Structure 1
Amino acid sequence: MKLPDQRWYIASPNPDQVKMLVAETGLSPLLAQVILNRGIDSPNLAQVYINPEVETLPDPLDEFPDLLSSIELLKEAIEIGEKIAICGDYDADGMTSTSLLLRALTHLGGDAYYEIPSRMKDGYGINERIVEKFAEEGVGVVLTVDNGIAAYEPIKRAIELGLTVIITDHHDLPEKLPPADAILNPKLLSIHSPYRGLAGVGVAYILAVTLAEQFNKTEEIIDSLLELFTLGTIADLAPLVGVNRRWLKKGLKQLPNSQLAGIQALMQVAGVSEEQKQLKPDDIGFKLGPRINAVGRIGDPQTAIELLTTDDPGIALERAMQCEQINGKRKGLCEEIEKEAIHLIKTTPINYKKDRVLVVINHKWHHGVIGIVASRLVERYGVPVFIGTYEEDDPSKIRGSARGIEEFNIFEALVYCDDLLGKYGGHKAAGGFGLKSNNLIAFKERLSQFAHQLLEPHHIKPLVKIDGEANFKQLNAQLYQHIDSLQPWGIENAFPVFWTPNVKILEQRTVGKNHLKLVLGQEDGQEMKAIAWRFGSYFPLPKRLDIAYKLTENYWNGTVNIELEIVGVRLPAGTTIQPKNTFTYQGKDYICHYFKQEKELRIKNAQGKVLAVRKGQQKGLLGINRQEAKEVDVTQNPYFDIIKAAMNTLNLTK
């Protein structure tokens, strides 16, 4: 029997605080626990969390020291017709930021255009080549978005060439800030500022709105700016706290009725229903965002910029279709690289539990998508992942991406390896790096050294964070609606996860490529349907389990039902483990054996009937003995699922 190797953290908020929040807010005890777990521990904070609009926000001009000077510089450039060049980034944050400022500056009469560094040729951020090109083209003001804070030399060169430079960025601060004319970065603000968690597109949004206010031209453009802010913030995995949460709550309601041709076209190709009253972060995180991100990863960012800046529905649909095609290619690349990485980890083998960090490098991987693969490997192994590939035009150099776990800071790990690296950057959860290939062994050793300072062996497992225990009777439409009313859920404000102990697995079957459909029961007769994504390799699950899950809605034939989305399972306390060759399917017990010489799998039920099937055959024999056995089609259920369950139990491959 195989189950996910997870670690569970079950929150235990103070019962008195739970009662206090229930009395003050009218929330159910379950939801009061959830928001206490999010650090909302007073009635005032709870009211702001439930309705962010009740909070009085500080004026951005008072929070960002260089915002006023940035506005004055841009206002002057617009009024005298000076060229303004936006230097963006090739991820969703950078491209939405670039599009947002292009729309705003053009609307206000500015002479603006943009440049995005080539992922393949330039790498991340503004560089001296781009700066010198701007100078040759007669640019007066350079405006960086979602980059620039670590680009000391390029910014210094721009100032030497007589350019005015405004940096808007949200990445971690270097020891020495670039000599720009103005810098807007939420990391320069107090940790208590509601603007602290802004992504690059959030900084661009504040700059654009404040500038439009100076021209008294906000009314016609404010909705489109908010929609681009919403798209970029969620796609960049920014924390959904502070002003992000407040503005996203409004932006997600606006998006289904967006007047932007590009957003309408993107929703159409991504299969997002226009009938939704509001979008959810998952609609952007799993549908819209990846299609924009894919363009920057393996395509031409101009496609996404044109999508988000055009007002022509025909061009918008054409660009959205291009995004769709590129995203399809991106999916294929990710699947291929993930399989190769897993194979490499198994066959090398790489002892990531001993090292407490996983470093995996290979030739010919597309560095535009390895960051996504890194996230999947973190999900699979529960360890910080550093994944890289050799540069196509220079195999002596490696370019990589990194993703972390809760107890590990990626940016600090890269700083710890500073002398071994070329260019690098990032934040706690993710980063990018470059190094010479002859530094690879030293890099692995240094990362392992850093990881040992932070991580214990028990940390090297995927973490399931749980808000509280629930009974199936509590899991109803009303609870789901209350959870839904507290959207947006996401980074640093995770969707609630509950758990229920000692649940009976009444029915289970495989669906799709690698998923399980379940019917679950409690001792009191309460039943729930559930889906367990990517749990196919654990089929069949044992008779009883503790389960961790999210609530979800399932639409089928015009009806809506509340179901569970399983995120974790474990054996209940005191459970005895079944013998290795036995399994349970649909409440019945089976014993299985594989006979190598005959290449035959035999599965016996409690009544003594045996199902025998040989490798590669579509027909099998079912009966008490071979003489009386009847032939059955093993490609059909229930035989197909029973055979799959037996193969998983015996760790046989197809």
Structure 2
Amino acid sequence: MSLDWQLPPQLEIPAEFVAAVRSCKPTVNGKYAAQLLWQRGIREIDRIPGYLDSDKYQPTSPFAFGLEMTAAMERLKKAYIYAEKVAIWGDFDADGVTATSVLWDGLRQFFGQGQLSYYIPDRMKESHGLNIAGIKRLAAQGVNLIITCDTGSTNIKEIEYATKLGVDIIVTDHHTLPSQRPPVAAIINPRYFEESHPLFHLAGVAVAYKLMEALYLTLPDIPQQPVEYLLDLVAIGLIADLVKLNGDCRYLAQMGIKRLTLQNQTDLDGFRPGVNKLLQLCKRNGDRPTDISFGIAPRINAISRIHGDASFGVELLTSKDVERCHELAAETELANTRRKELQKNMTLKVQAKLAELDLSTTSVIVLVDNNWSPGVLGLIAGQIAQEHGKPTILLSTNSEEDAGRDKAKIARGSARSTQNVDLYQLVNSQAHLLNSFGGHPFAAGMSINVENIPIFTEAIDRQLHAQIDKLPPLSIQTDLIVTVADLWVSSGRDLFEDLLLLEPYGMGNPAPKLLIKNCHFKDIKNKNIQDFKGKTVQYIRTKFELIDASSGKGFPGIWWGHYEHEIPRVNCDAIVELDYNSYEKRLEIRLIEVRPAAIVDNIHDLFRQPNLANRQATLEVIDFRHAPVDLDVDAAAIVWVKKCPSNWSELQVYCQRAIRSSGKLALDYQSTNLASSREIFEQLVGIAKYLANTQEEIDLERLALRLDIRDRSVRLGLDALVEIGFQVSLQEKTNLLKIVLSQSQVDRDVDLYSLFTVQKFFAAIEEEQFNRSYFLQVPTYAIQASLSV
């Protein structure tokens, strides 16, 4: 889905503010960092040191949680004194696994072997949160106290069940609060604070850390290692989860990344061989938030997405057995590889089912299938939500737990929102139809009886439809306008060092989006990535170099999950993020979005036509693209453009005709949904099969008209037909095509869309359609301006 681009505001930054930023790190330029801080509302000079330098931030005491933290300490002291059995109840995502690891590592300083255990629900069989069966098993094992992490706040029924069995519960969580306090020993949840409180946005892992911090202060003589040894785990969970990185969240992430950076030192006190090996496998150093968000976190999440059971993730993060950790890290890496392949293959299946919906009348996308793997539904739902600008819920009835049982069939799945819809409130409005539900405004998990899905879908769709007009438009905010030369200055370090000052980036402090105007791409190539064993993974990345008028030297970049034919071959405006590739030891950009270059910025590049040079012609352009034709116009004095052009040369032919006849130019082509390259290719193959079966011939020009593409693209399409198993002959004099099936067919297991000739055809179509999408909206003043170049 195309988003509006919001340009950075034109603000005058006070010189003393820039100086204050620069004083925090005299080696940086400071102007870019100052602009970002000012735009993001951080304008008080006295806030700058604590925001940019964690050593100058004053963290909040864990006892700010008040009576709840005091009660938690009393219950933990009792468990310590009487040597009770304690169980940690975790969660299967990265926040939950790291939170479990923080409690496991921290509490082992107080509880001996056999006293402490942990339990993480199976993603494939169980939902988030406490469940009766698990509590029953723990009680049978003699557990007296359960400490939850990243879950439990709203599990009232399960908490009451535990109480009846004589099991106390301490809840540490950051999700939605219950309507009234549950019957627990303590509930440590930052949602009880005001939103402005520095602890309000803590993720589950950070709440668990605050509990450990309080315990280390309460019983200071017992721990053999500092509580700060847990901070690397805290940073991993914080960066991985969707929480705002401000207040203590930002401080803990900063301190944790410092700790994580040291994990390449094998003689480090508190060394974690599992974390060290994960960093090696993802070819990262651990000194950047992106090393977590693009490296460690997806791998931890992949454990439960593929295996269901995430328990060995805790062992990976906390064990000191180097050999065992290397085995677990290799298993984690393979799970992440499998996750990528599964995600790609399932995305195609979801998109096929999506094609059956009328998206023009759909406010919320809800899809269900018997064979979808629950592990990657959240990732795919996020993709679909972003592509179509609609909240998306994907459900699977593929559950081993429910198989063969005489009860209602249950669907489990994940929901993801777009940037302006509170998903939690939307779904929670129909909580009476759900078996379980939990999450926050951007993401959620749920289970529901299959028979309830239709009424649930209708209810939330109707509710959101009534609110749509009140929602702000979808947009992408750009932060800085830069040139390629800015990226190259001192190898990009001036800009990059400024951006580093504001790390870690995340919710509330997003990675800066850099707008580069009027640029173009070269050396474009894509390929499947390989895993650490050299096996090809069905997951695409496209590499390129970006050039603009400021520098003749192309700057390296990458576009994840996209093919090279999706890169336009015309001048563009691009939104990118600047990052450091620790594997290749260089800076590079990640492409976020691209569109035709802004007309006022590149007239002299795009519109120059040799035959119109130095002509001072004027032309009146009438626009009927978005309005009905005015019947009062004098049709005899008008040159009509009835078909959307695909380049400036086509449009200029009409312009010249209108100028020669002293008439007007009328744009009368309508904004329609342009066919995708894949749809056109499938149409071409269908025509080829028909011609082969009937032995008919077709004129090359007629074929181009049928497909609505240009002659060059048609010829590339014919090359693709040959590679997939057709014989094509063209009589150049008559322009007649004859197509027959070849005896040598392409291997049926080959992905036809990945063949080189098919990719070249796709590239040509994408370029045509990219240009057409531009001419569907090109302003009339731009056409007039092109005549005076």
Interval containing the TM-score (normalised by the shorter chain) = 0.7 to 0.9
Report the counterpart of residue 587 of structure 1 in structure 2.
none
Counterpart Cα distance in 2 of 1:86 and 1:413: 31
Taking a change above 3 Å as real, the CA distance of residues 650 and 523 of structure 1, as seen in their structure-2 partners, is: closer
- 1:240, 1:493 within 8 Å by CA — same for their partners in 2? yes
Corresponding residue to 2:214 among 193, 210, 215: 210
Amino acid at match of 2:292: I
Counterpart Cα distance in 2 of 1:62 and 1:636: 57
Corresponding residue to 2:498 among 464, 482, 488: 482
1:137-176 → structure 2 map (5 Å cutoff) = 137-176=141-180
SS of match in other structure, 1:406 = coil
Answering whether residue 278 of structure 2 is matched by residue 272 of structure 1, we say: no
Corresponding residue to 1:383 among 363, 379, 390: 390
Report the counterpart of residue 588 of structure 1 in structure 2.
none
Per-residue CA deviations over 1:9-61 (Å, capped at 9, x if unaligned) read 22316x23465532432364433222233331221223322113323233221
Amino acid at match of 2:589: L
- 2:87, 2:145 within 8 Å by CA — same for their partners in 1? yes
Answering whether residue 522 of structure 2 is matched by residue 507 of structure 1, we say: yes
- 1:265, 1:317 within 8 Å by CA — same for their partners in 2? yes
Counterpart Cα distance in 1 of 2:516 and 2:413: 40
Report the counterpart of residue 287 of structure 1 in structure 2.
295
Taking a change above 3 Å as real, the CA distance of residues 397 and 140 of structure 1, as seen in their structure-2 partners, is: closer
Per-residue CA deviations over 1:515-538 (Å, capped at 9, x if unaligned) read 554444444555542433344375
User: Per-residue deviation at 1:474?
Assistant: 3.0
Amino acid at match of 1:490: G
User: Per-residue deviation at 1:186?
Assistant: 0.8
- 1:374, 1:386 within 8 Å by CA — same for their partners in 2? yes
Corresponding residue to 2:12 among 1, 4, 16: 16
Corresponding residue to 2:249 among 235, 244, 254: 244
- 2:6, 2:477 within 8 Å by CA — same for their partners in 1? yes
Answering whether residue 272 of structure 2 is matched by residue 260 of structure 1, we say: yes
Corresponding residue to 1:568 among 593, 598, 601: 593
Greater alpha carbon shift after TM alignment, 232-241 vs 396-405: 232-241
TM normalised by structure 1 equals 0.85
Report the counterpart of residue 430 of structure 2 in structure 1.
417
Report the counterpart of residue 365 of structure 1 in structure 2.
372
Answering whether residue 721 of structure 2 is matched by residue 615 of structure 1, we say: yes
Q: Which has the higher strand share?
A: 1
- 1:610, 1:623 within 8 Å by CA — same for their partners in 2? no
Report the counterpart of residue 774 of structure 2 in structure 1.
none
1:42-81 → structure 2 map (5 Å cutoff) = 42-81=44-83
Answering whether residue 480 of structure 2 is matched by residue 464 of structure 1, we say: no
Residue-pair matches, total: 622
- 2:720, 2:758 within 8 Å by CA — same for their partners in 1? no
Amino acid at match of 1:132: K
User: Per-residue deviation at 1:467?
Assistant: 0.9
Corresponding residue to 1:316 among 322, 325, 328: 325
Per-residue CA deviations over 1:226-283 (Å, capped at 9, x if unaligned) read 1111122222233222212112212212224330122123223x3334xx3x422222
Report the counterpart of residue 297 of structure 1 in structure 2.
305
Greater alpha carbon shift after TM alignment, 288-297 vs 333-342: 288-297
User: Per-residue deviation at 1:169?
Assistant: 0.8
Taking a change above 3 Å as real, the CA distance of residues 279 and 244 of structure 1, as seen in their structure-2 partners, is: same
Report the counterpart of residue 397 of structure 1 in structure 2.
410
- 1:93, 1:232 within 8 Å by CA — same for their partners in 2? yes
1:422-437 → structure 2 map (5 Å cutoff) = 422-437=435-450
Taking a change above 3 Å as real, the CA distance of residues 645 and 468 of structure 1, as seen in their structure-2 partners, is: same
Counterpart Cα distance in 1 of 2:581 and 2:143: 54
Unpaired segments of 5 or more residues in structure 1? 585-591, 628-634
- 1:7, 1:464 within 8 Å by CA — same for their partners in 2? yes
Report the counterpart of residue 493 of structure 1 in structure 2.
509
Greater CA radius of gyration, 1 or 2?
2
User: Per-residue deviation at 1:152?
Assistant: 0.4
Counterpart Cα distance in 1 of 2:495 and 2:383: 31
- 2:570, 2:596 within 8 Å by CA — same for their partners in 1? no
Counterpart Cα distance in 2 of 1:6 and 1:646: 24
- 1:469, 1:498 within 8 Å by CA — same for their partners in 2? yes
Counterpart Cα distance in 2 of 1:175 and 1:115: 27
User: Per-residue deviation at 1:583?
Assistant: 10
- 1:12, 1:468 within 8 Å by CA — same for their partners in 2? no
Amino acid at match of 1:183: I
Counterpart Cα distance in 2 of 1:79 and 1:218: 15
Per-residue CA deviations over 1:192-234 (Å, capped at 9, x if unaligned) read 2211111111111111122123332556143431111112222
Counterpart Cα distance in 1 of 2:723 and 2:558: 30
Counterpart Cα distance in 2 of 1:102 and 1:378: 36
User: Per-residue deviation at 1:546?
Assistant: 1.9
Report the counterpart of residue 39 of structure 2 in structure 1.
37
- Identity of matched residues, %: 26
Counterpart Cα distance in 2 of 1:147 and 1:185: 10
TM normalised by structure 2 equals 0.71
- 2:568, 2:766 within 8 Å by CA — same for their partners in 1? no
- 1:353, 1:460 within 8 Å by CA — same for their partners in 2? no
Taking a change above 3 Å as real, the CA distance of residues 640 and 302 of structure 1, as seen in their structure-2 partners, is: closer
Unpaired segments of 5 or more residues in structure 2? 23-28, 264-270, 529-539, 608-642, 650-679, 692-696, 705-709, 735-752, 771-789
Counterpart Cα distance in 1 of 2:521 and 2:250: 40
User: Per-residue deviation at 1:622?
Assistant: 14
User: Per-residue deviation at 1:180?
Assistant: 0.5
Report the counterpart of residue 645 of structure 1 in structure 2.
763
Answering whether residue 181 of structure 2 is matched by residue 177 of structure 1, we say: yes
Taking a change above 3 Å as real, the CA distance of residues 524 and 153 of structure 1, as seen in their structure-2 partners, is: closer
Corresponding residue to 2:194 among 190, 201, 205: 190
Per-residue CA deviations over 1:291-329 (Å, capped at 9, x if unaligned) read 221222332222112212321111111121222232233
- 1:303, 1:319 within 8 Å by CA — same for their partners in 2? yes
SS of match in other structure, 1:487 = coil
Taking a change above 3 Å as real, the CA distance of residues 132 and 637 of structure 1, as seen in their structure-2 partners, is: closer
Taking a change above 3 Å as real, the CA distance of residues 16 and 295 of structure 1, as seen in their structure-2 partners, is: same
Taking a change above 3 Å as real, the CA distance of residues 626 and 649 of structure 1, as seen in their structure-2 partners, is: farther
Q: Which has the higher helix share?
A: 2
Corresponding residue to 1:552 among 579, 588, 600: 579
- 2:316, 2:328 within 8 Å by CA — same for their partners in 1? yes
Per-residue CA deviations over 1:340-361 (Å, capped at 9, x if unaligned) read 0111112x1x233432221121
- 1:611, 1:623 within 8 Å by CA — same for their partners in 2? no
Counterpart Cα distance in 2 of 1:537 and 1:440: 39
Taking a change above 3 Å as real, the CA distance of residues 613 and 292 of structure 1, as seen in their structure-2 partners, is: closer
Counterpart Cα distance in 2 of 1:624 and 1:31: 63
Amino acid at match of 2:20: E
Report the counterpart of residue 568 of structure 2 in structure 1.
541
- 1:528, 1:563 within 8 Å by CA — same for their partners in 2? no
Per-residue CA deviations over 1:460-487 (Å, capped at 9, x if unaligned) read 86x4221132233433321112212332
SS of match in other structure, 1:154 = helix
Greater alpha carbon shift after TM alignment, 517-526 vs 186-195: 517-526
User: Per-residue deviation at 1:549?
Assistant: 1.5
Amino acid at match of 2:18: V
Per-residue CA deviations over 1:396-449 (Å, capped at 9, x if unaligned) read 322121111121011101111123222111111111122222222222222222
Counterpart Cα distance in 1 of 2:118 and 2:338: 26
Report the counterpart of residue 631 of structure 1 in structure 2.
none
